[in-house]
Each structure stands twice: as structure tokens, then as C-alpha cells.
Amino acid sequence: MTFLTLGLMATASAWRALFLLSLAGALSSSVFLVLVLIAARRRSHLARAMESSVASVPEKSLPFVTVLKPVHGMEPRLKENIESFFRQEYPDFEIVFGARSADNPALRVVEEMRTRYPHVKCRVVISGPPSWPNAKAYSLEKMTAGSSGDCLVITDSDVAVAPDFLRNVVPPLLNPRIGLVTCLYRGVPAGGVWSLLEALGMSVEMSSGVMVADLLEGMRFALGPGMATRQDVLAKIGGFAAVKDYYSDDFVLGNLVWAAGYQVALSHHVVEHVLIPQSFQRTFGHQLRWHKSTRYSRPKGHVGTGLTFAMPFGILGMVSAAALGHPGSGLALLALACANRIVQSIAVGWGVIRDPRILRYWWLYPLRDLFGFATWVGSYTSRRHFFWRGELYHFREGGLIVPQGRVAESVAASRFSESERVLVPRPQAAQHPNLTTDTG
């Protein structure tokens, strides 16, 4: 037997191994799709029941609500996003905006909305430079200190909501067993193909993962674009200081509420997460940061995520089957992978999230699946450093973060076991109406 023969045999064995791997991936992604379809059907049923339950709550029973909204500079559609909260059809609420400094340009938009809607209670809290690793958590702690409402609704500045948002997310908190309500969200691209792909991922990939997690073990986490909780629940877990060391503060907040014995409810209401138009490099970096966070927060679960992708295994099957002389089998595997992702995109993106872009761009979702796989691989091959909100950070095990450009309070040890993780000088305040300066 010649070396050439041995080499050919070894090459054939390698291709057969890759083909078997593609079959295993096709099976795992198909199983995941079945779970997604079951979870989507269950979510639709639960959403109808919750919507009916919420509608039956009399308006006089609704509590006063404080909406906490940190802002960080100008963003696409910021005016529309903020205005959607001033237009809430809710009996009595206030909006508290938080910023690091009074010269934050987003506060000009806030002031414009305050003038346009003088009947809405509104104020601004200036937190000053953060002394915690997570600057958002630091700002939320300062904002909560002067809040009047027992119920707190927390949303990001890049979120837009319908006028009945508060009317839908607050009533479940009247049940003392429910400690936090969170919302699924649809991605809204602000322009550009990469922004569109990221938005499709939010509407489909993110929602699929959340619904399957809820199906298999219940909600043990929260989603940052829309969260509602009570002051007593927040006090029981130690306030926002409990999440000050984590990048995924929303995930950890929900996990802490669940660990404290409360239920985390997934609302029937869907909010909008507005994305910015950006280059491939920035979009990839943004997605990579989230995958890194999951990798360090839930290492075992993150490994399993790789088995939920379909397109990489479809392409691998096509190439390996062709190399083995069976191109028809390879094309069948690729077609199966494409069909898998298209069914998922329509069933979740339209069937549950009601994202109208899905009906136009369902054919792009297989590409989005490849993009997600690339960032998943990148989470294992890139450094622990990441750039976020103008600052450089470093990931530590358990999802802890350490800012590299400023001094922050020491990072605490991770508080969760693997089974519990599902996961300058101070600026001077300018003259500003309804402005509270709190530099702590």
C-alpha cells in the first residue's frame, strides 16, 4: 500500500467524519426547531390568557408607576423613542431620566418632550461619573433613590413602546408572587443591511432562545429593553448594587429575583428595540460582545448554543458530501438547513413577535444564522476585552466586568452556581428645569 493510497484513505475518512458531523448538526438544529415551534405555540396561548387577565384589572386598581430611563447621548429615533413614553395611556406615572452629566445632548430631547407634554411628571437625575463597573446600574441606583412609585419600569433609551405599554406590563405586579415582568422585543433597523440582519436576530434568534428557556425551565432572567418590578422586590435582592459588577445586568437582575423566590413573568406585550445604522465591523463587534457575555456567564449553555445553528452544518454537509461523491445528498442537507431557518423566522418573527419585516426579509434569515454562528465562534477566539459606551472593559469568569480606563469599586465574586445561571473631574450641572444633581 503506497503513501498516496494511505493519504487518500485518510482524506476520505476525514470527509466522512465531517459529513457525520453535518448530520449531527442537522439533527440538533431540527430538534431545536421543534422546541421553538412548541414554545411559540405555547407563548401564543399564554399571551392571549395574560392579555385577557390584564384587561380585566380595573383602572382604579393600577398603582402609581415610576419609569426609569437612562440616556447616553444622541441615537437614531431618540425623540420618537422618548416621546412614546410621554404618550402612555396610564392613570398616574412619572418618568425619571438619568444621565452622567448635564451636558448630555439627549437631555435636550427630554426637555423638548417635557415642554410638549407638561401634564406628564418628569425629572432628570445627574449621577456623575460612575463608581461601579456597570455604569447603567450605578445610574439606576441614583434614579431610584428619589422615585415616588412603588412600581418601577426600567427601559433603555433605544426602546419605543405602544401607548398601552404601562397598562399591559404593570398589572401582573399586583400579584405578590410575581416579582418582575419582562418583555420580548422586535428589532427595528435604522438603516443598512447589517442593522437589518441584527434586527432579524433580535426578533427571531433572541425570542426563540427566550421562549425555549421558558418552556424548559421557566423564566429565570429578564430582558433589558422592558422590565417592571416593585420596590420591595428590589430591596430584597439588594437593589441595583447587586448587579453592579455584571455586563448582563438585566439577566442577573431577573435571576436574582427568581432566586429570591419570586416568579419572573414574560409579558404578552412586545416592545421595539431600535438599532443604529453601522458598518459590518461595528455590528459584528456588538454581537460578539453579547456572545462573550454569555460565554463567561453560562459557559456550558453557550457551548450548547453552537448546536442550534443550522446553516453552518448545511454548508458543511454540502461540501463534505460533494467530496465523497454524493452532491445530491449535500444539496439536500443545505436545502433542509435553509428551510429550517425560514420556518423559524416566520413562526417566531411573524407568528409571535409580529415583526412586519419578517414577511419581506424571511429569505435573509439563513444569512443571519451564519452571521450568528460566526460571532459565536468569535466569542472563543477573541480577547476578553470589549468596548462599551465609550469605555474599555475586561470580562472575568461569571460575566463579571472590570473597566480599564477608570477606577471602580472592587468586583465581587460571582454569586451564582452554574445551575442557577440560565444568563476626570466631576462636571458642573448646567441650569436645567426639573433637574436633580446627584453626584454621590
Domain range summary for the chain, segments of one domain joined by +: 16-29+299-401, 40-294+405-437
pLDDT tens-digit series, residues 345-395? 999 999 999 999 999 999 999 999 999 999 999 988 877 877 766 778 888
Q: How confident is the model over 85-93, as a mean pLDDT?
A: 96
pLDDT tens-digit series, residues 311-350? 999 999 999 999 999 999 999 999 999 999 999 999 999 9
pLDDT band of 425, cuts 50, 70, 90 = very low
pLDDT at 122 over 80: yes
pLDDT band of 299, cuts 50, 70, 90 = confident
End-to-end Cα, the chain, rounded Å:
79
Q: State which fold the 40-294+405-437 domain adopts.
A: Spore Coat Polysaccharide Biosynthesis Protein SpsA; Chain A (3.90.550)
Q: What integer pLDDT is reported at residue 407 of this predicted model?
A: 61
pLDDT at 115 over 90: yes
Q: What integer pLDDT is reported at residue 409 of this predicted model?
A: 62
Q: How confident is the model over 259-281, as a mean pLDDT?
A: 91
pLDDT, the chain, mean: 87
pLDDT at 45 over 90: yes
Taking phi over 0 as left and psi of -120 to 50 as alpha, with beta for the rest, 73 belongs to: left
d(C-alpha 440, C-alpha 431), whole Å: 19
> Which residues touch 9 (CB under 8 Å, ≥6 apart)?
none
Q: What integer pLDDT is reported at residue 281 of this predicted model?
A: 80
Taking only Cα atoms into account, the Rg of the chain, rounded to an integer number of angstroms, comes to: 23
What share of the chain in percent tops pLDDT 70? 89
Longest dimension (CA), the chain: 89
Q: What integer pLDDT is reported at residue 145 of this predicted model?
A: 85
pLDDT tens-digit series, residues 124-149? 999 998 889 998 999 999 999 878 78
Distances in Å between the Cα of 195 and the Cα atoms of 187, 225, 380, 428 are 9, 17, 24, 36
Q: What integer pLDDT is reported at residue 148 of this predicted model?
A: 79
